[in-house]
A and B are shown apart, each in its own frame.
Chain A
Amino acid sequence: MGLSSIAGHEVHVDQEGFMTVYDEWSDELAQKLAANIDLELTERHWEVLRFIRRDFEQQGETPTLRRVSNTGGIPIKELFDLFPKKPAKKMAYIAGLPKPAGCV
């Protein structure tokens, strides 16, 4: 746990750089976080980010790919196109949500 400076804002992050305080996130930060992992956000990316932020607010947990697909209506295949290789982690990272539990 610690503070990190992103786009001139001090925000709380965990060891791997995932933001830990829901309300510290902003659209501007998302752009910066996306740039950190070489992604440029399109409108479709924003749809995913808005869905998973809203879902987190309601459920208290970072949604799984299955949930984004079933409930958010964005197919898993497309999530892999939008956020290559590690969509679950990348989505959470950019949306300022905790790293997905991955379960145990």
Chain B
Amino acid sequence: MKRLLVLGAGTAGTMVVNKLRPALARDEWSITVVDQNLDHHYQPAYLFVPFHPASIGKVSRPRQKLLADGVDFVVREVDRVLPDENLVRFGDGSELGYDFLVIASGTVPRPDQTEGMTGEQWRRSVFDFYTLEGATALGERLKTWEGGHLVVHITEMPIKCPPAPLEFAFLADAHFRELGIRDRVDITFVTPLDGAFTKPVASSQLGDMLKRREISLEPDFYIERVDNEAKTIVSYDERVIPFDLLVTVPVNMGAEFIARSRMGDELNYVPVDRHTFVSPKWNNVFAIGDAADLPTSKAGSVAHFAVETFAKNFILHTQGRELPHSFDGHANCFVESGGGKAMLIDFNYDTQPLPGKYPIPGVGPLTLLEESRINHWGKLMFRWIYWNALLPGRRLPVPTAMSMAGKRDISQDTKSTTSKEEV
């Protein structure tokens, strides 16, 4: 009996086991997935919690119910992986051996990593919205908040769902307009990046969207500490930004057991081949989804496209064959822009987000890099797709590899956001 062990029953881990279970004979393969808790959260819903807590609906389901028949689910905390012994040791001292290991333990916000972030203002005037507790607490605070300086802040890249802080700023703008108090709120978007987003065309488009909403942009801001007394954030080069309400995205890091296992980089992400997800050190160890150190977005869509490639490869790998399929870094994300609209971006390792139509070139119905109502409905509908098609491992009617069909390459028209003089 061969043993496949998957660490993490989130988006990537759940899809991996659900794709592989039907493909691997039950009398030859056992599949076990481990997680530290019982519930699977639909994290994209967190974004809306601070503004419309009542209409959020159910954001979680029991992990067990999302797993295919014939997959063993174990709830236990991983202490460490011993990759030279093909063994995983748990916090309670128990162990599980494996023939193949897939690390899919994701990434988590770590406010404890920034001086002062979890100080006395934490969850009073300093909030995160990347956890359900944080988003809920922020919703409570917003109910009675009467205005002032709202600072939306990214601590360090990479972060899970990179457009989310921008979406938060757009939704906050719309929210305060709806309440009729927008004139009493000034919003500043503070980022370590040199513009609103990472890639030039999207960055310039999203930068314009900030401007139109009178949201100021503070780029190249690398936070050193939160000053709880003065209610300011201070950068390493001693810029000081005051806040009445700070909504921050803390440093995101991979699981601590990866550090204990000495398998990760300085943010606990596992180095793997960017096209096949296999570890360069141990050829029976893979990392997929946010846990991997891939140079693309940390997002469910990436996990989805990655698993499609991984599952096909893995079956061949178990037969001792080469890994013929290659992941291109494909990601797409809905970007909620407020007022019932959203835009959609679609990109990969080599090609930045460009305007066009998706998924059918020239037709859509979704529009790329442009706000529309149908994109917003697409975003809302996606929750159903996530639970009912994506996680069960059904094939979605969208291509795995990114396509240039129907896109306009305007990257040459858009001036790069920096020039040599500004380096």
Contact = CB atoms under 8 A, between A and B. Distances in A.
Interface of A: 15-17, 36-37, 61, 64-67, 70-71, 76-77, 79-80, 84-86, 89-90, 93, 101-104
B423 A17 contact: yes
Given A66-B156, A102-B157, A85 B237 contact: yes
B199 interface: yes
A85 B220 CA distance: 7
B420 A77 contact: no
A76 to B, nearest CB: 5
Given A16-B416, A80-B236, 8 more contacts: A16-B420, A36-B420, A37-B421, A37-B423, A61-B295, A67-B266, A85-B237, A102-B198
Interface residues of B, number: 28
B266 A66 contact: yes
Interface string B236-264: 11000000000000000000000000000
B301 to A, nearest CB: 12
B267 interface: yes
A35 B339 CA distance: 49
A44 to B, nearest CB: 16
B331 interface: yes
A67 B422 CA distance: 23
Interface string B194-223: 100011000000000000000000001010
Interface string B85-106: 0000000000000000000000
B344 to A, nearest CB: 15
A56 B13 CA distance: 31
Contacts of B198: 102-104
Given A61-B295, A80-B222, A80-B237, A104 B347 contact: yes
Contacts of B406: none
A7 B77 CA distance: 57
Nearest to B237: A80
Contact of B418 (A16, A66, A70, A104): A16
